[in-house]
Structure 1
Amino acid sequence: MKAEVLVYRGPWVENRHRVSLAVYGEEGLVACAGNPAMVSYLRSSAKPFQALALFLTGAVERFALGEEEIALATASHDGTPRHVGVAARFLGKLGLGPERLVCGVHPPFSKEAREALQRAGERPTPLHHNCSGKHAGMLAAALALGASPEGYERPEHPVQELNRKALQDLSGAEPLQATDGCGVPTFALPLARAARAFYLLARPDQAPKPYEEPLRRVGEAMRRHPHLVAGPGSIDTLLMERLPLLAKRGAEGYHGLALLDSPRGPLGVALKVEDGSTQAREVAVVALLRALGLEPGPTPWDRPEVQNHRGLAVGHLEARLALSWI
C-alpha cells in the first residue's frame, strides 16, 4: 500500500515524500507500506544494536559503566552540557581523552548549546558530536576484548566484526556495509529484516540467548534516560517519555522503533523516507504510531506548518499512510 508525506503550499501539493516501512511482530511481518524489501542503511538507527558490544565483551563490568553511559552509547544526542558531561565521564572511565574519538567535530544540534559555546568563545569538540557516546562505547569494547583501540573504526576491527554479526543474528540477514558519517561502518538491510531486529529489542526473551540480557539492558537504559538518547524537543526523547517504546532516529530519513506494547502486542518498525527528508520522517513516524493504535498526544509533527522567511504560515505537511495488514 502507498505511504507518503505531502507538502502543501497554500491549498496545492508542492512536493511528495514517498515512504516505505515494515512492521514486525511475533508471527513475522504484520504490516507494511511502500516497499518493505527495500534495502536501506540504518545509519544511527543501528546504535542500540552496536551498543550490545558493551555487554558481549564484558566492558560494562570492567569499566563499571552505568545506565547513563549505556544510553549515551545508543544516542544521536544534541550536544547539550549534560550530553558532553556524560561523554567525558565515559571516556574518563576508560582512561582516555576526547582526542581518541575519530567521529570528527560538528556544532551541537541544540541551538541553546551552540549559542552558549559562541558566547563563551569556545569551539565544539568531539564530545559535542552526536555520535560521541557510540564511539566511546566502541573504544570500551575494544579495550575489553584486549584489542587495540587504534583503528576501532575499521570494518576489520574485532569490535566492528562483532557489531556486524550481532545485527546479522538479530535480523536474520547479512547486512551490507559502508562508511557512516562519523567514520565507522554503517549497515544496510531490507526494511523487514531491520524491523525484526527492532522487534527483538522490544522482546529480548525471543532473541538468541547471547543477546537476551544485553538487549534487555540496552532497552532499559534508553527508557530510563530518554533525554540522553536525543535531547529536549527531539522526537526520540518525546516519544519515549510519552509511550511504551524505544525510538531511534537515523540519518537520511530512517527511523527504527521497538514498541514494547500496542493493541497488537510488541512490534518492531523500520521506516525510510525514500528521498531522505528528516522533516517528512518525523511526520510519518507520528502518523504511523497512531495507525498502530498508539496516541502520543499533541506533537510538533502533527500537520506542521511550512513557513516563509518572515515566519508566516504558507502551507503545511500531512502524512497519508495506507498500511497493508498481513
Structure 2
Amino acid sequence: MRGVAPPARIAPDVVIDVEGLSKSFGGHKVVDGLSMRVERGQIYGFLGPNGSGKTTTIRMLCGLLTPDAGHGTCLGMDIRTEARRIRAHVGYMTQRFSLYEDLTVEENLHFVARLYGVPQPERVAQETLEKLGLGGRGGQLAGSLSGGWKQRLALCACILPGPDLLLLDEPTAGVDPKARREFWTQIHDLAASGLTVLVSTHYMDEAERCHEIAYIAYGKLLTRGTVQEVISRSGLVTWTVTAQGMESRVAGLALARLTRELELCEGVNMVAPFGTALHVCGHDEAALEAAIAPYRHAPGLLWKRAASSLEDVFIDLMNRSRDNMQ
C-alpha cells in the first residue's frame, strides 16, 4: 500500500490487456499462456475450479506476482515494469476478511484512509460508509459483524482510496443469498460510475450478472465472452429427465440407476443431477438422441429437450479438462 495519494489520472478504455501470461510453482504451470482483455466499466467474471489459477492471475494483473512469460498492461501500465504504479490504482479484495476485528468499522476505515494518504480521511470514510449502507454501524467492532456485513466493510475499504480497478477474489464465499444479491447491486452501481471490476466466483448466478465471463481450468483459458456466447459456443445439447409419480426415495433410486446406465452410453458426455431431475448432455445431437431413445418411453420418466445452462457448460468444460497438479 502507498503512503501518499497518487496523482489523478484517467483510466484507459481498455483496462486489462495481457497476452500469454504464464506462471509456475514447484515445477507445475499454474497459469499457462493466458490472454484476456477487459474494457473500462465492465464487470468481468473469472470462473474455474479450485486450483485453476484464478488467484495467481489476479495477483499478476495487479503487480503482486511477476509472470514467468507473457506481457501486457493494466490501467495502461506495464505489468512487469510498472507494478508499483499499478498497485496504487487497484483495490484488491481477498477471499478472507483482512481488516482488524478488534477495531470498530469507523476505526478500520480511518486507518485505511490515512494509510493511503486520503485527504480528509474521516469525512471520506464516513461518505464511503454511507454509500454502502454501513453508516449506522460505524461504532460496531468489525469482529462482531456477520459475514455479509464484513464483506460490505471490506468492499468499503477497497473503494475508499478511489481505485480505477477493483479485483474481487471470491468475495461472497460463505455469504447468504440475500447478502450476495445486495453485494452485486453495489458492484453494478460502482461499474455504472466507471469503475472496472474483475471478480472470481464459483456461483453461476453471479457469473450471469457479469457483462462478460472467462472460464479457466488448470491454468488454461478455455472460453470467454458473454454468457450467451459461451453457452452457444459450447455446442452442448441438453435433455432433462424427471421421475414422475414415485415416492421421493424410489424416484431417487430410479434416477441414480439411470445415471449409471447413461454414463456408459456412447454420445452422452455428461449426466448431472439438478434437484429432482437429471441433465443429460452431449455434443453430438444425433448420438445423444440415439443413446436416450431406449429410455424415452420408460414408465415414470418424463423427458424434455432443454436449453443448456451455464452450469451445464462449465461442468462439461471441467470434465474435459486435465488436472495438471496431480
- TM-score bracket, normalised by the shorter chain, equals under 0.3
After TM superposition, the score normalised by the length of structure 1 is 0.25
| Higher relative strand content | 2
After TM superposition, the score normalised by the length of structure 2 is 0.25
| Higher relative helix content | 1
Structure number with higher relative contact order (C-alpha < 8 Å, ≥ 6 residues apart): 1
